[in-house]
Amino acid sequence: MAYRTSHGVPLQHAGDGAAAHTTTGTWAIDPTIWRVVGTPLIAATHPGPLSGMGVAVKDLYAVAGQRVGAGNPTYLAEAPVQEHSAPAVQRLLDAGADVIGIARTDEFAYSLAGVNAHYGTPPNPKAPGHVPGGSSSGPASAVASTQAAIGLGTDTAGSIRIPSAYQGLWGLRTTHGRISREGVHPLSGSFDTVGWMTRDAQTMDAVTQAMLPDRDTAALSGEVAVCVLPSQMVDADVAEAFGRSCDLMRNATLVSGRARPDMWDELTLDADMFDGFLDIFSVVRGYEAWQANGGWVRGHFDAIAPDIAQRFRNDALIDETAYRQGLERLERSRAMVRSLVSDRVLLMPTAATVAPTITEQDDPDTAARTRKQTMRLTSLAGIGGLPALNMPIATAQGLPCGMCLIGPAGSDKALVTFGKELYRQLSA
């Protein structure tokens, strides 16, 4: 593979799947997607199961010889050069993947839209004119535009799942704490997780096996619970796509004999539960975000986009007493969510809407409403510390949206395998 580092010079891309990882086209390097690109930036340590695959690394991870920019040019200029790559990056290199480059993140990973006031908005190849989703926006766009096979990102409130849903990708948020976050710029330690995005289920499975060489600590029973949500929580076009996909998969698994009728059930959830999760999330994540970033942010508010700066200002007002109370509520709610999931797979829409148009995102009221609506849904896996897999589906109009599969803690590999099988039934 050949990659170039100058803007406007063609960038050859890594292909899809183990059978097709040679370059098949060229693109001009888009600085809204990439911060830096190499030839490759770092070559694989040695051949392995991911040989031939190129990785777009979110600009929160330490990459040897590079700085961590966290989506802010002033922070980047002041950051030290990293001597070693983060363990998650190194694991991909050791599995045979090449790091193509460092891809953009929403500023300090504090957004789900995919917009960065300093560097611009990465394109959404699957829905032109719509935002790409964030905060793992650059890696998602790199994968969706076939410039990388793997996007390495993070997920706190949905930063893997949302860009995956908006761009028609597979995306895995891993069980909280299963993969080391050493060398990853933090937002909120109680929720931050490592995750990745791919264009197809085969590649998702290969990356998951390579990144999680240890055995799962939880098994799946094969039972599925389809979450029934209040109508106001999900836009009608997404709800229809989700319901249609669930029906197709359920019928296919029953006809094929892979499931019994009693293995598919419904689980009715109310809006009050999600609102409670959001309240916990805002306190715990907010306090931790300020503790992790406030030392730098308080002296650089004028160098930060206004909406991100306001979030940090709000975070600075959360006192330790409120935080401790939030942690107690989080502990109780995490136990409740894990009991609710048990050994089943929960199915629910990944995001409440399709990707907003760029014009819609430019309206502050619309952007705030979409953010809250979507974070209600993503909060369940976050509060539970559970693995969550986005499976790409589409509305009747052909816009990408997502089905989220949530499994018990420690069932990550089994969840991906289960998702592959369900998708095969959907595509049959």
Task: Say whether the peptide bond before residue 135 is cis (omega within 30 degrees of 0).
Answer: yes
Report helix, strand or coil for 12: strand
pLDDT band at 369 (very low <50, low <70, confident <90, very high): very high
Q: For residues 8 and 6, give the distance between their C-alpha atoms in angstroms, rounded to a whole number.
A: 6
pLDDT at residue 62 above 50? yes
Helix runs in 222-305, H state only: 236-256, 271-297
Asked whether the bond before 40 is cis by omega within 30 degrees of 0, the reply is yes
pLDDT at 133: 99
Q: Percentage of residues in the chain with pLDDT exceeding 70?
A: 93
- Residue-wise pLDDT for 394-408, tens only, equals 999 999 999 999 999
User: For the chain, what is the mean pLDDT?
Assistant: 93
- Burial classification of residue 244, based on how many CB atoms lie within 10 Å of its CB (0-12 exposed, 13-18 middle, 19 or more buried): middle
Go through the domains of the chain in sequence order and give each one's CATH number. 10-211 (3.90.1300.10), 224-427 (3.90.1300.10)
Q: Given this model, what pLDDT does residue 25 score?
A: 47
pLDDT in tens, 248-276: 999 888 767 676 778 899 999 999 999 99
Mean pLDDT of 403-421: 98
Kindly state the tokens that stand for 308.
């991100």
- Evaluate if residue 24 carries a pLDDT over 80: no
Phi-psi region of 180 (alpha: psi -120 to 50; beta: other; left: phi over 0): beta
Q: What is d(CA 186, CA 68) in angstroms, rounded to the nearest whole number?
A: 11
Tokens of 55: 């990785």
